[in-house]
Amino acid sequence: MGLRTKITDGIKNAMREKDTVRLSTLRLINAAVKDQDIAARAKGNADGVDDAEVLAIMAKMVKQRQESARVYEEGGRLELAQKEQAEIGVIEEFLPRQLSDEEVAKAVDAAIAEAGADSIRDMGRVMGALKGKYAGRMDFGAVGPRVKDRLS
């Protein structure tokens, strides 16, 4: 079952169960995916986005909500922070399991070996290989400095 089908089924179940937080979050995911489909079609990709790109969209949504929750907590708006955390929980149900630090280290080493990288100039190839294999399963913002350290 594809990721889009799971999201659509989740929307239907949330409607039946009258779960407003889940329903609104899933609708936001669906809208973001459709926006990217339209952008992809404008660039000539008639099929729209694939599951890997949907995972990347959802990972970005999680990051946005984490930042918003942090800002709300700092501002004393705990009810809004809790709403953001609830949305994160719904989105993460559709994301694959995140890799542990040890697994990330092994993946970085394997990508460096696979790309034949030996200097910082090869960082783009290494990050591209990681993004291709591990989209949605690791935080590339945190992985970038690790790759940079290994190549320096």
Query: Structure pTM?
Result: 0.73
pLDDT confidence tier of residue 132, bands split at 50, 70 and 90 = confident
What pLDDT is recorded for position 66? 93
Q: Which two tokens stand for residue 18?
A: 């009258």
Q: Which residue has the higher pLDDT, 53 or 21?
A: 21
pLDDT surpasses 80 at 16: yes
What pLDDT is recorded for position 114? 84
pLDDT confidence tier of residue 134, bands split at 50, 70 and 90 = confident
Residues 94-120: tens digit of each pLDDT: 888 888 888 888 888 888 888 887 888
Q: What is the largest CA-CA distance in the chain?
A: 55
Residues 55-78: tens digit of each pLDDT: 888 988 998 999 999 999 999 999
What domains are there in the chain, each with its CATH number?
Answer: 3-92 (1.10.1510.10), 101-151 (1.10.10.410)
Query: Picking from 67-71, 75-79, 82-86, 120-124, which range would have the lowest pLDDT averaged per residue?
Result: 120-124
**Tell me, what amino acid is at 95?**
L
Under DSSP, the state recorded for 112 is: H
Instruction: Return the percentage of the chain with pLDDT > 90, whole number.
Output: 39
CB-based burial, 108-134: b 16+ in 10 Å, e otherwise? beebbeebebeeeeebeebbebbbeeb
pLDDT surpasses 70 at 1: no
Instruction: Return the percentage of the chain with pLDDT > 70, whole number.
Output: 99
Give the mean pLDDT of 30-46.
Answer: 88
